[in-house]
């Protein structure tokens, strides 16, 4: 058996099991050995039944006291019950739909059980795992639990893993000895053995630490290599930099944070290598004007800039805003969206090619069709997670600059805790607007139950009476909604006809035609609508300063970050603004989440809270930030290790910047493997 031996050549692996393993990404012995347990079960035996604690998983040996018996509860449900004993006590066992337990658990025989003890007077255990006492291996008391798919049991994976163990000595070491010594890391063979078959918890921790370090180390190396590669590409340097007239023309002065971000970007743009900067700032922090400043720099240097928005609505709004912000400069700002007529699009494309537009704002329409630029040297995207890497490079290909690559500025309101962001993006490439424009009043946020509906309606009426406008957001579009959530369309009609016949109520949702949506949003922006019932189409970016109340129905259905984004739609003007979260959900965790939103308006604090409550899994998922999925390490929890891995990576690259030395070949392969699915991230 070799590391590259296909699993289907092993005994007992037929087509069905091969397919099931394939679903887990397991094709070879090497894949199998890199399939790490997601958890471990402590199978150390408690001395006797009397010593068993309750409500935690325990392992104990006992004898079957009487024959087990099965009974039908209802169709498709059998319960098998029995009793096991030792000298100190007894436990009632129950199995559901496991009639074979009755056969195996013979009276008078001893077994080892694993499960959770419950019950007051009488100890009980539901659905324990069990094995014959003579099969219990006291030398292997820590049992790995693997991520599974239908068709492969944990037991089966364990057996396969035992066979694969023989190949562990073939795994190449990726961490040189001086790194291992310096950071006190186990050699590779020990780590693999320890992670799959730890003899002790200490051994497991030693193994896991080494493997987590390796992941973070490779992540850092990969990111650094990507950055180096990018820096080898040419870009147009924006050497002329005079923002004076632009800044003097603005209706406000920039905050210190905005100014710093502009300077950071300007510094990048001066260089003949492509900028790749993430501009991070909470909703309302004023990212647009920073983007405008960058566009001015492009223009001063005879180049074009493009701003890509995720939706038509946002593109139109950005077009309006930027036209105003740039009105004193003489720059020509254009708009290109899907809903324009073919003739309008043709004109726009002609103007782009002729260089008659300096800043083009658009949606995906910018990418489709025969767009060509005269000299596109700066691409700005709003909300990175809706605008993929492929799309950005597609735009780069049409830039008309030959070999030179455009500079890229990515604006995002998704807050990443700062230490983490610095590590992910490196200190060169992140700008944070950590300050709101002056005079903003914090949005007051309340959580209310369904019983307060009448008071809520009164409050809406009162706000409208004061001349304000109101958003009301529902999670779903139509009434074919099994869970009875407030559906925008149906609920909007009800509000318009029954509750607020005297108010101007409009409805907007994602399934409407672009034109229809646009008409509604324009009417709202112009103050012709009092109450806008909407789905999350209004989530990002829409700017109506007169809107002072945001009501979110079934708020528990949204993530914290999304709720925070929604709330950012109000509080953009001079009026005291409010956000009301409506939820009948009584789950304590859910309520804690929603209360966190009431307690703070700091997006970064909320991001930390979200992280705590939901775990790093979805929050820092590869999808959102374009990073490879890590198996063992956590970007959120392993700060110390992260810094060590970062330092180690820096040291290695100092001696071998492209990771080309022969002794680094195994390491390079590992890095490439980690970035297999993300080859072009950040390019
Ligand atoms: P976001 O970061 O959410 O995209 P915007 O760029 O839309 O924020 O800015 C939010 C609002 O704040 C806009 O109405 C904008 O005109 C205003 N604004 C931005 N910067 C300042 C500033 N320095 N002083 C006053 N108002 C500002
Ligand atoms: Mg914005």
Alpha carbon separation from 458 to 476, 500, 532, 533, 535 (Å, rounded): 24, 10, 16, 16, 22
Cα separation, 227 vs 218, whole angstroms: 14
Cα separation, 184 vs 554, whole angstroms: 50
pLDDT at res. 626: 53
Cα separation, 534 vs 509, whole angstroms: 6
Ligand 1: does its nearest atom lie under 6 Å from the Cβ of 380? no
Write the pLDDT tens digit of every residue in 206-251: 999 999 999 989 988 988 887 777 778 899 999 999 999 999 999 9
Write the pLDDT tens digit of every residue in 413-438: 766 655 566 556 554 577 888 888 88
Cα separation, 473 vs 245, whole angstroms: 41
Cα angle 678, 680, 683; round to 5: 135
> E strand or H helix at 83, and its extent?
strand 77-86
Write the residue with the smallest CA distance to atom 16 of ligand 1: 286
Give the mean model confidence (pLDDT) for residues 253-265: 96
pLDDT at res. 612: 64
Span from the CA of 437 to the centroid of ligand 1 (angstroms) = 7
Give the mean model confidence (pLDDT) for residues 265-272: 96
Whether the predicted pLDDT of 204 surpasses 50: yes
Whether the predicted pLDDT of 196 surpasses 50: yes
Cα separation, 114 vs 60, whole angstroms: 7
Cα separation, 533 vs 256, whole angstroms: 37
Span from the CA of 284 to the centroid of ligand 1 (angstroms) = 5
Cα angle 33, 36, 39; round to 5: 150
Give the mean model confidence (pLDDT) for residues 101-127: 89
Write the pLDDT tens digit of every residue in 155-179: 889 989 999 999 999 999 999 999 9
Cα separation, 581 vs 592, whole angstroms: 13
pLDDT at res. 415: 64
Q: Where is mean pLDDT largest: 279-283, 548-552, 646-650?
A: 548-552
Whether the predicted pLDDT of 481 surpasses 60: no
Give the mean model confidence (pLDDT) for residues 115-139: 87
Ligand 1: does its nearest atom lie under 6 Å from the Cβ of 281? yes
pLDDT band at 278 (very low <50, low <70, confident <90, very high): confident
Write the residue with the smallest CA distance to atom 9 of ligand 1: 286
- Helix, strand, coil distribution of the chain in percent, nearest 5: 45, 20, 40
Give the mean model confidence (pLDDT) for residues 177-201: 95
Give the ligand whose atoms come closest to the C-alpha of residue 540.
2
Q: Would you list the DSSP string of 281-315?
A: E-TTS-HHHHHHHHHHHHHHTT-EEEEE-SSHHHH
- Parallel, antiparallel, or unpaired: how do β-strands 304-308 and 376-382 relate? parallel
Give the mean model confidence (pLDDT) for residues 531-559: 84
pLDDT at res. 261: 96
Which among 229, 296, 233 has a CA at the least distance from the CA of 265? 296
Sign of CA dihedral 342, 346, 347, 352: positive
Give the mean model confidence (pLDDT) for residues 52-77: 89
Q: Would you list the DSSP string of 390-417?
A: HHHHHHHHTSS-TTPPPEEEEEE-----
pLDDT at res. 433: 87
**Ligand 1 atom nearest to 288, measured from its CA:** 6
Which among 481, 514, 488, 210 has a CA at the least distance from the CA of 339? 514
Write the residue with the smallest CA distance to atom 27 of ligand 1: 437
Residue 669, SS3? helix
Q: Which residues contact 189 (CB under 8 A, 6 or more apart)?
A: 168, 169, 171
> E strand or H helix at 74, and its extent?
strand 69-74
Whether the predicted pLDDT of 387 surpasses 90: no
pLDDT at res. 635: 67
Q: Which residues surround ligand 2, an ion (CB under 5 A)?
A: 541
This prediction's pTM: 0.69
Whether the predicted pLDDT of 683 surpasses 60: no
Per the DSSP assignment, residues forming a β-bridge with 131 are: 112
Ligand 1: does its nearest atom lie under 6 Å from the Cβ of 573? no
Span from the CA of 234 to the centroid of ligand 2 (angstroms) = 29
Q: Which residues contact 285 (CB under 8 A, 6 or more apart)?
A: 257, 258, 413, 433, 434, 435, 436, 437
Cα angle 449, 472, 340; round to 5: 155
pLDDT at res. 602: 80
pLDDT at res. 618: 43
609 phi/psi in degrees, rounded to 5? -65, -45
Q: List b or e across 217-244, with b for residues whose CB sees 16 or more CB atoms inside 10 angstroms.
A: bbbbbbbbbbbeebeeeebbbbeebebe
Cβ(601)–Cβ(443) below 8 Å: yes
Which two structure tokens, joined as six digits, stand for 272? 């003949």
pLDDT at res. 341: 92
Most informative mutation of 278, 284, 384 for ligand 1 (most atoms within 8 A of CB): 284
**Ligand 1 atom nearest to 439, measured from its CA:** 25
Span from the CA of 196 to the centroid of ligand 2 (angstroms) = 48
Q: Which residues contact 554 (CB under 8 A, 6 or more apart)?
A: 474, 475, 485, 486, 582, 583
Most informative mutation of 247, 256, 288 for ligand 1 (most atoms within 8 A of CB): 288
| Average pLDDT of the chain to the nearest whole number | 86
pLDDT at res. 611: 62
């Amino acid at each position: 058996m070799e590391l590259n031996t296909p699993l289907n050549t092993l005994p007992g692996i037929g087509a069905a099991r091969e397919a099931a393993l394939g679903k887990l990404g397991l094709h070879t012995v090497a894949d199998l050995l890199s399939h790490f347990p997601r958890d471990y079960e402590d199978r150390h035996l408690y001395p006797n039944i009397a010593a068993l604690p309750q409500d935690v998983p325990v392992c104990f040996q006992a004898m079957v006291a009487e024959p087990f018996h099965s009974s039908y509860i209802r169709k498709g449900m059998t319960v098998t019950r029995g009793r096991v004993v030792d000298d100190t006590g007894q436990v009632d066992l129950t199995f559901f739909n496991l009639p074979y337990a009755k056969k195996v658990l013979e009276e008078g025989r001893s077994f080892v059980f694993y499960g959770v003890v419950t019950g007051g007077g009488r100890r009980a255990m539901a659905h324990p795992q069990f094995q014959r006492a003579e099969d219990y291996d006291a030398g292997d008391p820590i049992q790995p639990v693997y991520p599974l798919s239908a068709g492969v049991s944990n037991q089966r994976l364990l057996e396969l893993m035992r066979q694969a163990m023989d190949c562990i000595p073939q795994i190449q070491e990726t961490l040189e000895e001086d790194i291992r010594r310096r950071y006190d890391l186990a050699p590779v063979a020990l780590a693999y053995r320890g992670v799959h078959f730890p003899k002790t918890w200490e051994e497991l921790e030693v193994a896991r630490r080494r493997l987590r370090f390796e992941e973070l180390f490779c992540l850092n190396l990969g990111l650094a290599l990507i950055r180096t590669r990018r820096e080898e590409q040419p870009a147009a340097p924006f050497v002329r930099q005079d923002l004076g007239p632009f800044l003097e023309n603005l209706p406000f002065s920039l905050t210190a944070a905005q100014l710093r971000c502009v300077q950071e970007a300007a510094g990048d743009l001066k260089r003949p290598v492509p900028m790749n900067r993430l501009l991070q700032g909470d909703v309302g922090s004023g990212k647009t004007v920073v983007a405008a400043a960058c566009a001015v720099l492009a223009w001063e240097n005879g180049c074009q800039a493009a701003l890509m928005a995720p939706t038509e609505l946002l593109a139109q709004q950005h077009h309006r805003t930027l036209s105003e912000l740039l009105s004193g400069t003489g720059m020509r700002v254009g708009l290109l969206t899907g809903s324009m007529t073919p003739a309008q699009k043709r004109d726009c494309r002609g103007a782009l090619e002729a260089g008659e537009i300096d800043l083009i704002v658009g949606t995906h329409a910018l990418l489709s069709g025969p767009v060509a630029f005269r000299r596109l040297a700066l691409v700005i995207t709003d909300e990175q997670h809706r605008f993929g890497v492929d799309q950005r490079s597609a735009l780069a290909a049409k830039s008309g600059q030959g070999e030179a690559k455009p500079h890229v500025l990515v604006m995002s309101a998704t807050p990443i805790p700062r230490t983490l962001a610095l590590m992910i993006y490196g200190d060169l490439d992140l700008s944070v607007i950590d300050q709101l424009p002056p005079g903003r009043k914090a949005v007051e946020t309340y959580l209310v139950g369904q019983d307060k509906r009448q008071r809520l309606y009164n409050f809406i009426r009162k706000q409208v009476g004061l001349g304000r406008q109101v958003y009301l957001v529902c999670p779903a579009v139509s009434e074919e909604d099994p869970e009875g959530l407030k559906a925008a369309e149906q609920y909007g009609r009800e509000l318009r006809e029954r509750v607020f016949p005297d108010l101007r109520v409009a409805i907007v949702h994602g399934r409407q035609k672009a034109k229809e949506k646009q008409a509604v949003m324009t009417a709202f922006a112009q103050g012709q609508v009092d109450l806008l019932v909407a789905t999350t189409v209004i989530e990002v970016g829409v700017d109506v300063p007169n809107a002072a109340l945001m009501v979110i129905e079934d708020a528990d259905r949204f993530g914290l970050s999304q709720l925070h984004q929604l709330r950012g739609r109000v509080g953009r003007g001079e009026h005291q603004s409010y956000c009301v979260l409506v939820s009948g959900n009584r789950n304590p965790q859910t309520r804690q989440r929603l209360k966190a939103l009431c307690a703070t308006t700091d997006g970064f604090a909320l991001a930390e809270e979200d992280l705590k409550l939901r775990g790093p899994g979805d929050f820092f998922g590869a999808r959102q930030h374009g990073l490879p999925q890590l198996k063992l390490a956590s970007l959120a929890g392993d700060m110390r290790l992260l810094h060590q891995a970062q330092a180690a990576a820096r040291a290695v690259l100092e001696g071998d910047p492209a990771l080309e030395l022969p002794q680094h070949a195994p390491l390079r392969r590992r890095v490439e493997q980690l970035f297999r699915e993300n080859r072009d991230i950040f390019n």
